[in-house]
Chain A
Amino acid sequence: MIAATALLMPHASAGAGAGRRCYPSAMAADGDSSDEQLALAWAGGDQAAFLRLYARHKGRLYAFLLRSLGRRDAADDCFQDTWARAIAAHRRWRPQARFSTWLLQIAHNLVVDRFRRQRPMVSIDDGDGPAPPPVLVDGQPGSDPAAAHEALEQGRRLRAAIAALPLEQRTALLLRLDAELSLEEIAEVTGAGRETVKSRLRYAMDKLREAMG
C-alpha cells in the first residue's frame, strides 16, 4: 500500500494543472505502455499496471463525475463504484474498446442510475435547491475584489448553465469538452447514435452560449 501511495501522490489534478489533451497525451507522459496494454497486464494479474491506469484516469474520471452530478458526496460514491465495477470486471476486459471509453461507460451508467433514483432533479439555481456544487478552487482570486467577484460570478453562471442542461446533453458536453472524446466514442459511452450525440452537443453548446452571454 505504501508503494501504491507513493506512485499515486501527489494527486493528479483534473483542473488547470492536468494534461490538457486527452488520454493519449497522458499516456505519453506516463510511459510507453498504452492504456490497453496496461489493462491487459492488469487482467493478467499485474497490480502495478492497475496503479498506473488508476493514476492516469482518476483525475478526469472524477472531474467528469463531479461536473455531471454537481455534488462531491455523490461524485465520491460514483467514483468508488465505478472503480469497484471495473475491478470486478477487469479480467473480462478485451481490447476491442479503449480502456478510457470502457471506464467512462461504467461511470455514465452509474450517473444515469443515480439520476433515475433521485428524480425530480433540482437545478442549482432553484432557491430551495441544494447549494452550488462544492468545488476546490486551486487558484486564489486576484487582489482586485471586483475582478475576483466577477470571476466567481462567471464560474457560478457556468456551473448553473451546465447543471440546467438535460442529463443527456450535459453528459455529451462533458465527454466532449473535458474528456475530449470523439462523437463516435461519446456514442459508444452513452449508447446513443452518432447523429443523436451530434444533436445533443449542438443543443448544449447553444444553451451554454446563450446562458454565458
Chain B
Amino acid sequence: MSAGPGLGREEAALAARLRRQWPVSGPSEALDQAVLARAGTARGARRRTRARLPWLLASAAAAVLAVGTVLRLAVAPAPTDDILATEAAAPAAPAATPAAARQPVASGGAETAAPERSALRAPAATQPVQAAERQAAGVTAPPSPPADDGGARQAVAVPAAAEAELAAAVALLEAGQDAAAAAAARTLLRRWPGIELPEPLQALLAEPAPVE
C-alpha cells in the first residue's frame, strides 16, 4: 500500500469503482445558499443587523408580550375555580350574596362560553373586585393556578444556538430564495422541534412544495 498521496493500483481501481457505482452529486442549491448566507452572516453582521432591525424589534416586542402573558397567567385566578368554589360554598351561605357569588359567570356570554379564555383576557383591575366578592360571599378557597389552554399560549423561546440559523433563513427569504429559506426553516424545525418561526417562514412552509 502506498503511503504517499498517490493511490496504488488496487486503491485506484476501487476508487474508480466507488465513484462509478456510488456517484454522489454535490450539495443541493438550497444547501449552497444556506452556507453562503451563513458565511455572509459571519462577515457583515452589523450591516445585516441594520437590515433586520424591523424584524428584530418586532421579535423583541413579541417576546415582551409573551413574557407578560406568562406572568399574568401565573398570578391570575381562573373563573372556573371561582365558580366551583362558590358553588361548593353556596350551601354554607345560600342567601348571603348569591348574585355577587355568581358575578363572574353572569358577566357576559363570551365568558360563560369559554371561562378559561376569559381568564386569559381578564384585566388585572378586576382581580381585587373578584377577591372582594369572594370575601363577601364567605368563600375562602385560595385562587387556583392558571387554567390550562392546551399550550396554545405557551411561548417557545428561540434557543440562542438557533438565532444565527433563523436569521439566515429570514435573510434567504428576504433575498427571494424561497427554496433555500424553506430548507433552512425545515432544518431548524428538525433540530429544534417546536421552535417559533417568524410568520413569513411559517407561511412559506405552509405552501405546497414545488415539483422538481
Binding site for B on A (CB under 8 A): 1, 4-5, 8-9, 11-16, 18, 20, 22, 45, 47, 50-51, 54, 58-59, 62-63, 66-67, 73, 76-77, 79-80, 83-84, 87-88, 135-139, 151, 154-155, 158-159, 162, 176-178, 180-185, 198, 201-202, 205, 208
Given contacts A5-B33, A180-B7, contact A202 B1 (CB under 8 A): yes
Instruction: Give CA–CA (A180, B16) in the complex, Å.
Output: 12
Instruction: Report the interface size for chain B: residues with CB under 8 A from the other chain.
Output: 41
Q: Please determine whether A182 and B5 come into contact, CB atoms closer than 8 angstroms.
A: yes
User: Which residues from chain B sit less than 8 Å from chain A, CB to CB?
Assistant: 1, 3-7, 10-11, 14-15, 17-29, 31-40, 42-43, 164, 175, 177, 187, 190-191
A22 & B31 in contact (Cβ 8 Å cutoff)? no
Is B14 within 8 A of A14, CB to CB? no
* Chain B residues within 8 Å of A202, by CB: 1
Interface of A is mostly: helix
CB distance from B95 to the nearest CB of A (A): 67
24 cross-chain CB contacts under 8 A: A1-B37, A1-B175, A11-B25, A11-B29, A11-B32, A14-B25, A16-B20, A54-B39, A59-B26, A67-B22, A76-B28, A77-B187, A77-B191, A79-B35, A83-B38, A88-B42, A135-B24, A158-B17, A177-B7, A182-B3, A182-B5, A183-B3, A185-B5, A205-B14
In the complex, which residues of chain A have a beta carbon less than 8 angstroms from the beta carbon of B15?
A: 177-178, 180
A76 partner, pick from B18, B31, B175, B177, beta carbons under 8 A: B31
Find the B residue at minimum CB distance from A153: B21
Further contacts, 12 of them, CB under 8 A, given A155-B21, A198-B3, A205-B1: A1-B37, A11-B29, A13-B24, A62-B26, A66-B24, A67-B24, A79-B27, A83-B39, A136-B25, A139-B23, A180-B7, A198-B1
Contact present for A80 and B175 (CB under 8 Å): no
